[in-house]
Amino acid sequence: MNTKLSVNINKIATLRNSRGGNVPDLLKVAEDCERFGAQGITVHPRPDERHIRYKDVTDLKPLLTTEFNIEGNPKEQKFVDLVLQVKPHQVTLVPDATGQLTSDHGWDTVVNKAYLKDTIAMFNSAGIRTSIFVDPDIRMVEGAKDVGTNRIELYTEMYAKQFPVNPQQACKPYVEAAKRASGLGIGINAGHDLSLQNLRYFVEHVEGVLEVSIGHALIADALYFGLENTIQLYLRQLSQPKS
Ligand code: PXP
């Protein structure tokens, strides 16, 4: 099984918004990512629309031919309405606060059990696969089972930080969390700070990762290698045989 690559195009929107026009053209970049081999496109609209705008999401929907993943906080009613209108393949629920620079923690699936259960049931009954962002913590993974999510997205910032020091230690909580999730029949995604340097090791050691969503590092690499080459480089990390 190869892990799928979903390209997070938020950074393209950030660049576009910095000048107020339509350069770079977000829709074209998304289509090009697919043409260059990406197996999915991820967007993370936030209430202040500082990168992806709500209109971008509705504009993208008819164009995309691969998996569309929309991330965000369902406590924002506008986000819920958007997802139900667009009906992407997957919604990834993230507990980020308004104005937060980037996602920096997963759900407490125990404390938010009732809320997540209702929210997930609502999206599932609209035919949308659900994933929830969680830290690599066995209790949170077990809580994810209780709320009925189809998948979890393991929050990988801690892995990325520790990887240069001790890759094996960095991976350990993720290996265990993934084992528990698989045992409970929950699908596994992963994301945040994954890069050309740390991606292969992660998917080689953490069993059963179905999909990674990568934005910041991939778009930065594209400045040097070009978008097509960069996507190919990331795909190659994902298709390496086990060592
Ligand atoms: N997953 C979630 C929930 C995120 O919020 C982000 C950043 O928007 C990512 C994955 C991608 O992280 P990065 O941009 O570091 O690749």
CATH number for region 4-238 = 3.20.20.70
The proportion of the chain whose per-residue pLDDT surpasses 90, expressed as a percent, equals 92
Buried b or exposed e, range 173-189, using 16+ CB within 10 angstroms: bbeebbbbbeeeebbbb
- The CA 192 to ligand 1 mean position distance, Å, reads 4
Give me the pLDDT at residue 42, please.
Answer: 98
Ligand 1 atom at minimum distance from 10 CA: 8
Residue spans of the domains in the chain: they are 4-238
Q: Is 71 a catalytic residue?
A: yes
Which tens digit of pLDDT belongs to each residue from 72-81?
A: 999 999 999 9
Which tens digit of pLDDT belongs to each residue from 18-51?
A: 999 999 999 999 999 999 999 999 999 998 899 9
Residue type, 131: S
The helix/strand/coil state of 117 is: helix
Q: Is 105 a catalytic residue?
A: no
Helix (H) or strand (E) holding 190: strand 187-191
- The CA 63 to ligand 1 mean position distance, Å, reads 22
Calculate mean pLDDT across residues 172-190.
98
- Residue of 76, 80, 11 lying closest to 42 (CA atoms): 11
Q: Is 205 a catalytic residue?
A: no
Tokens of 167: 């890759």
Confidence check: pLDDT of 240 > 80: no
Active-site pick, 34, 67, 192, 205: 192
Task: Give the chain's mean pLDDT.
Answer: 96
Which tens digit of pLDDT belongs to each residue from 47-81?
A: 889 999 999 999 999 999 999 999 999 999 999 99
Confidence check: pLDDT of 223 > 90: yes
The residue to mutate among 14, 33, 71, having the most atoms of ligand 1 within 8 angstroms of its beta carbon, is: 71
